[in-house]
Amino acid sequence: MNYTTIMDDNEVKQNIFKCSRCGLCQGVCPIYEEIKNENSTARGKLMQIWGIKKGDLKLNRKILQSLDLCLNCEKCKLNCPSGVDTTGVFHSEKKLPLSGKILTSDFIFKLKLSSLKFFSFFKKTPQYDKNSKILYFEGCIAKELKNKFEISGIKVKNGNFLCCGMPYLTKGRADIYEKIVEHNERIIDKSEMVIFDCATCLSAVKDYPFKNPKNREKLVFYTDFYKDFNLQFKKNLKVTYHMPCHLKSAGKNLEEIEKILNSIKNVNYTRLENPQNCCGFGGDFFIRHPKIAFSLSIKKGLDIINTKADVVLTSCPTCLWSLNFSLFVCKILYGYKKIPTTLDMSEFLNKCEIITKNLPRSETQKNIEKELVKM
């Protein structure tokens, strides 16, 4: 497997040659679902890139627009029977004008994040264990909005990582992305384990072209800790779960999440009508293509409301942000009196009481316990 970085021309061509034009990517692309335009699918994008490389097509505004119509959901890549690294090609072929380079600079990204400071007014400053070698990867949005990340009995230290790099990679900013990877790998090198609560961050870091490939094995999703716990919630609660697009590329699946939710005493879990559908946010996609983002967002909001759940959970702060927006808009547009509240799943699990931990333990849990004994 090739791990993500910006491809050279030869690698881009090799990936395009692998495409058999079967069209399976069309059936899974949320953008195609919305606008029914072949040029927006992975196949359509690859063919346009190939046409430009051969000199049959000239890069014009229309082509640039269709190449930009992408949520980076990776559904095409994950479902491609020929193993085409579709999103890798798209990132590598991003041609940004000077204005685009300024807009995707580190300074502008941090400026956008600082707008969240307003919402982080009530956030408590979390205290972590300074001596732990088990690190928490706090994503950029979690840094501003999320309260403390906790798992009962596990001492974690905030790794103080930089951004996972995804926002820069998707804009073709190899210069910034490579510096981030180098910095973050230095921190991972010194750790025993790194825990993630955001599917997007985990999928991005799992794809790093690590100098030491063993570092990839240290990356753990928080749900791994809960597989063998016997949990209960203090009162009856109906919940549903929005599956972030990057959950699969993070190496996790909906069934694993459902198994945990279905096992919690007093929790009644209902699956969404289209659990895999994108929330429409897609980084800054919603700013560039508000009409498509809005439509996806409303569909997601209605699917959630139809479950009649009290709470909708998810594992990505950007999705959480997006779900808040879609539920609020559905309430205004359709006059719903009661809408579900949104909550990060790691926070919800932490609110549950652990009844027992003595069920058969998974390998991950055994490894975690070994690490704790060493400390």
Give least dist CB 276 to ligand SF4, A.
Answer: 11
Give least dist CB 245 to ligand SF4, A.
Answer: 7
* Nearer Cβ to ligand SF4 (81/335): 81
Phi, psi angle pair for 113, to nearest 5°: -65, -35
Based on the number of CB atoms within 10 Å of its own CB, is 333 exposed (0-12), middle (13-18) or buried (19 or more)? exposed
If one counts every other C-beta atom within 10 angstroms of the C-beta of residue 209, the result is 12
Dist. CA 209–CA 178, nearest whole Å = 9
* Nearer Cβ to ligand SF4 (43/300): 43
Give least dist CB 305 to ligand SF4, A.
Answer: 25
If one counts every other C-beta atom within 10 angstroms of the C-beta of residue 302, the result is 16
Reported as half-sphere exposure (CB side, CA atoms, 13 A), residue 191 has a value of 27
Coil, strand or helix at 26: helix
Contact (Cβ atoms closer than 8 angstroms) between residue 196 and residue 229:
no
* Nearer Cβ to ligand SF4 (23/251): 23
Per-residue burial over 348-370, b = 16 or more CB atoms within 10 Å of its CB, e = otherwise: bbbebeeeeeeeeeeebbebbee
Give least dist CB 90 to ligand SF4, A.
Answer: 7
* Nearer Cβ to ligand SF4 (70/247): 70
Give least dist CB 185 to ligand SF4, A.
Answer: 26
* Nearer Cβ to ligand SF4 (35/103): 35
Coil, strand or helix at 195: strand
Contact (Cβ atoms closer than 8 angstroms) between residue 38 and residue 26:
yes
- Which residues here bind ligand SF4, judged by CB under 6 A? 19-25, 28-31, 41-43, 70-76, 80, 82, 84, 86-87
Per-residue burial over 119-156, b = 16 or more CB atoms within 10 Å of its CB, e = otherwise: eeeeeeeeebeeebebbbbbbbbbbbbbeebbbeebeb
* Nearer Cβ to ligand SF4 (146/242): 242
Give least dist CB 78 to ligand SF4, A.
Answer: 9
* Nearer Cβ to ligand SF4 (82/236): 82
Give least dist CB 71 to ligand SF4, A.
Answer: 4
Dist. CA 286–CA 148, nearest whole Å = 28
Give least dist CB 40 to ligand SF4, A.
Answer: 7
* Nearer Cβ to ligand SF4 (23/153): 23
Looking at the chain, the number of H-run helices and the number of E-run strands are 20, 9
